[in-house]
């Protein structure tokens, strides 16, 4: 059976005019959770759906951007070339898609695009973002979290904490026995600082490795953001030399989330922004509806909101951005490299995404968080939008 993709704008749908038929096909493409990119034999974009725009990080990409995508992903360029040359379908179960500073695990399937006369009109690329699947698998406890050694994170933490408590106790006793000005006190303080850092690291490893139990409830995202700002001590009032800018969409519906977990995520992002700035500087928080959506189990569109946290710091290189969500990678002198890992995991368990990139407007970094709304607006005609808290509160 020839499963090659065929395209014809003139394919009629009974009872629908041509324009309505075209709109229907667009809605079908945009309703797919998988990214779909249709290219001509010259690699010019013919069609692209909303999921693809979100995955590759740009709306309405042109031919130059497609060529950049192919150059950054030789495996995909090779598949496209072979598909066009042989007119054969091909698939890859998992590959790393690089789009700018972002790297995403995807499954790829390519089919030749044939016109009404069976001529080659291009290729259809379908990319499935695997990050949602991995987050769901981790949430459900799929796999063996204890690894090949059979040692759980909790067990390892216990083995580390016991001798660490003894080291700290001995260092504190020795510190109390030494007179002020004795050089040995510096060494004791150094031991205590190191022991405390190891203890904090163990706690963060447990947070990342342990099972995540979320207490979901309807929440207003703006209340979460204001609490994160208050906890970080940056609003109100603003710290000297740092301006906090807030551009909130007050019509955003509520989300189903764990308030405490989300507050920790945004507290981490705000603190990172503060630490990245050498005053004077700016931190900007933006909320809005996200253009990306997926179909839920009931076949309805699942819409998302977006939160952006940007700073006017010095930013990061492409290599640093690519490693941001790698455990233990950090650009801070005393960082553990687990804060963003944990934050990304929490957002993934909520069915959302956390991404990072350079801020074109402020010059530093922008962290983008997408979270699913409880329901789409269309599914709730009686919905009353949640009000953003007063910025002065």
User: Residues 8-17: pLDDT tens digits?
Assistant: 444 444 555 6
Specify the DSSP element, H or E, that contains 365.
strand 365-372
Question: Per CATH, the architecture of 217-372 is what?
Answer: 2-Layer Sandwich (3.30)
- Where is mean pLDDT largest: 90-94, 171-175, 329-333, 380-384? 171-175
pLDDT-derived band of residue 21, with 50, 70 and 90 as boundaries?
Answer: low
Q: Tokens representing 87? A: 């007119």
**Residue 285 scores a pLDDT above 90:** yes
pLDDT range class, residue 375, cuts 50, 70, 90: low
* C-alpha closest to that of 55 among 35, 76, 38: 35
Is 130 strand, coil or helix?
A: coil
Two tokens, residue 288: 């809005």
Task: Specify the CATH superfamily of domain 5-129.
Answer: PAS domain (3.30.450.20)
At 393 the pLDDT is 37
Pick from 20-24, 196-200, 271-275, 305-309: least confident: 20-24
* 4 or 269, higher pLDDT: 269
Higher pLDDT, 62 or 24: 62
The confidence score (pLDDT) of residue 59 equals: 65
Q: Report phi then psi at 173, rounded to 5.
A: -65, -45
**pLDDT confidence bin for 239, thresholds 50/70/90:** confident
Res 211: pLDDT:
53
Whole-number Å distance between alpha carbons of 249 and 289:
8
Judged against a pLDDT cut of 90, whether residue 175 lies above it is answered with no
pLDDT of the residue at 300: 62
pLDDT of residue 322: 86
pLDDT in tens, 355-366: 999 998 999 999
Q: Look at residue 1 and tell me whether its pLDDT is greater than 50.
A: no
Residue with tokens 């455990």, as numbered in its chain: 327
By DSSP bridging, strand 281-295 and strand 242-247 are parallel
**What residue has token string 């065929």?**
6
pLDDT > 50? residue 265: yes
The whole-number pLDDT of residue 38 equals 92
pLDDT above 70: residue 374: yes
Q: Which residues pair with 311 in a beta bridge?
A: 283
Q: According to the model, what pLDDT value does residue 15 have?
A: 54
State the burial class of residue 111 (Cβ atoms within 10 Å of its Cβ: 0-12, 13-18, 19+). buried
Strand order in the sheet with 301-311: 242-247, 281-295, 301-311, 365-372, 353-358
Average pLDDT over residues 165-185: 85
Q: Is 276 helix (H, G, I), strand (E, B) or coil?
A: helix
Read off the pLDDT of each residue in 162-173 and give the average, rounded to a whole number: 82
Average pLDDT, the chain: 78
- The per-residue pLDDT for 155 is 64
pLDDT of residue 354: 92
Query: What is the residue whose two structure tokens read 């904090």?
Result: 200
Question: Which has more pLDDT, 7 or 233?
Answer: 233
Mean pLDDT of 259-270: 92
**CB contact at 8 A, 37 and 52:** yes
Alpha-carbon torsion, ordered 57, 61, 63, 64, to 10 deg: -50
Q: What is the pLDDT of residues 64-86, one digit of tens each?
A: 889 999 999 999 999 999 989 98
Least confident of 98-107, 168-177, 293-302, 318-327: 293-302
Block residue for tokens 């499954």: 107
The larger pLDDT score, comparing residue 349 to residue 337, is at 349
Task: State both tokens at 219.
Answer: 């929440």
Q: Averaged over 334-345, what is the pLDDT?
A: 79
Burial of 333 (0-12, 13-18, 19+ CB in 10 A): exposed
391: Cα within 13 Å, side-chain hemisphere: 10
pLDDT at 290 over 50: yes
Two structure tokens written together for 229: 């700002």
């Amino acid at each position: 059976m020839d499963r090659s993709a065929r395209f014809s704008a003139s394919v009629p749908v009974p009872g629908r005019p041509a324009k309505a038929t075209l709109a229907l096909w667009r809605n079908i493409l945009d309703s797919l959770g998988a990214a779909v990119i249709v290219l001509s034999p010259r690699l010019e974009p013919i069609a692209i759906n909303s999921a693809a725009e979100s995955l590759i990080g740009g709306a309405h990409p042109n031919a130059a951007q497609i060529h950049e995508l192919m150059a950054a992903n030789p495996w995909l360029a090779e598949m496209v070339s072979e598909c066009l040359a042989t007119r054969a379908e091909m698939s890859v179960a998992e590959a790393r898609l690089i789009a700018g500073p972002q790297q995403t695990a995807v499954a790829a399937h390519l089919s030749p695009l044939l016109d009404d006369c069976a001529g080659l009109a291009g290729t259809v690329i379908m990319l499935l973002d695997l990050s949602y699947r991995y987050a769901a698998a981790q949430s459900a406890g799929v796999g063996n979290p204890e690894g090949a050694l059979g040692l759980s994170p909790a067990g390892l933490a216990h083995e580390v904490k016991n001798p660490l408590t003894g080291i700290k106790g001995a260092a504190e006793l020795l510190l109390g026995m030494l007179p002020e000005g004795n050089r040995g006190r510096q060494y004791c303080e150094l031991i205590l600082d190191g022991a405390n850092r190891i203890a904090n690291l163990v706690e963060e490893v447990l947070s990342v490795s342990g099972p995540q139990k979320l207490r979901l409830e309807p929440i207003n995202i703006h209340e979460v953001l204001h609490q994160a700002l208050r906890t970080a001590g940056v609003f109100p009032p603003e710290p000297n030399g740092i301006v906090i800018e807030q551009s909130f969409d007050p019509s955003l519906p509520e989300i189903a989330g764990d308030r405490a977990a989300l507050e920790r995520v945004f507290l981490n992002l705000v603190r990172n922004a503060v630490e990245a700035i050498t005053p004077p500087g700016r931190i900007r928080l933006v909320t809005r509806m996200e253009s990306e959506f997926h179909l839920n189990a009931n076949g309805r569109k699942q819409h998302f909101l977006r939160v952006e946290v940007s700073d006017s710091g010095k930013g990061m290189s492409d290599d640093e951005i690519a490693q941001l969500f790698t455990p233990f990678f950090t650009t801070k002198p005393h960082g553990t490299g687990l804060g963003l890992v944990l934050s990304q995991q929490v957002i993934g368990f909520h069915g959302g995404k956390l991404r990072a990139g350079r801020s074109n407007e402020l010059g530093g970094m922008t962290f983008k968080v997408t979270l699913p709304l409880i329901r789409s607006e269309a599914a709730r005609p009686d919905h009353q939008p949640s009000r953003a808290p007063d910025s002065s509160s």
